[in-house]
Structure 1
Amino acid sequence: PWYQLVLVDRQHELSSDYAPDDLVDLRREGLDTSRPHEKMRRVILSELRAMNRAARRDGVRLLFSSCYRSWIYQRDLFQHYVNQDGLAVAEQYSARPGQSQHQLGTAADFGSITPEFAETREGRWMAAHAEEFGFSLSYPKGEERVTGYIWEPWHYRYIGAAACRVQKKWFGDVQQYLLEFNNAHAAELKKSMIR
């Protein structure tokens, strides 16, 4: 499906009226959230549940801290960070409205939403296992110039397990490279597969 690999970044924006039509409340679906009414797309619910079950079997509690964000919510959040830290600093860690993967309904921030998350049991488990369930780290360490954002060990996006394998094998395990390639070549790849 298009939403799995659509490129959303500073050069590729979602419209202000885009919102998935199948958002579900994660708490109502039995998942742990840091706030009420965190939502993600129903179409990835089975993967979310499977990942949550696997983590629990390993004694790890996954906490969904920030998931779907509307364009308006992202606008207000970005402005808050600009007011707090100034534009240049805010742009290093926060997306402008329309430029956030959260608007897709397939991205989630986990745990503390701090760099220290990487060293928690939850952070280490996600780093080791998220790809098995189709979740890819969006902003890896050392790739700030490529992604345009600081390292965010807490921010994962669902792209599908097959795409995670392709990302790892052919794109240096950097989601941005995979999404840019797909964006540039999706039409010709699709044509070559249709006979």
Structure 2
Amino acid sequence: MNQRTVKKLVEPISKTVKGFKRSEVECLIRLFHSLVGRTGWKSGNTGLDRNKFRGILHNIFGMTDDILMNRVFSAFDKDNDNYINAKEWVKGLSVFLRGTFEEKLKFCFEVYYLNGDGYISREEIFDMLKNSLYQSSEEENDEGVKELVDITIKKMDYDNDGKISFADFEKAVREDRLLLEVFGPCLPETQLCCPRHKPVN
């Protein structure tokens, strides 16, 4: 990717992103280009597909939960075209790495409601918790997870409708910030470094 193309992308993206300086946006666009690779650009694919993005989540950020990695991909892929473009990459990372508490709250909720209906259902909580807990025996594990689901619903479902809305989630997390990633880690702990720049996180 030549310098002019990079500069053309940096300007409009920098205006929409609060978390990064202009030089960091440029660095992230260059990183994006190197991750997509020459073959991607030649084939007309100008984005990161799900598998490549999951590889980044796993290798750089240490994520291992398949369900959550897929949901993080969907939270980044705002236009739902199954590719993360340069703008989605930078905007997603700005929340992912440097987002305000409110931005991270919305991001985590978006990751956790799996079917896109705007609620975290009892079944979704069960699937996420089951997936993230060590399994000794299937039956024993399912019973333990069901108990955890009941406790979670009791603690977070303020309007008692059997599911967690954003208002429920926000209220619970504001009362206890440890609940932000209650259904599994979907925010990074690792720093992302740009070549010739300081760490991005």
TM-score higher than 0.5: no
TM-score by length of 1: 0.27
What's the TM-score, normalizing by structure 2? 0.26
Structure number with greater Rg is 2
Structure with bigger strand share is: 1
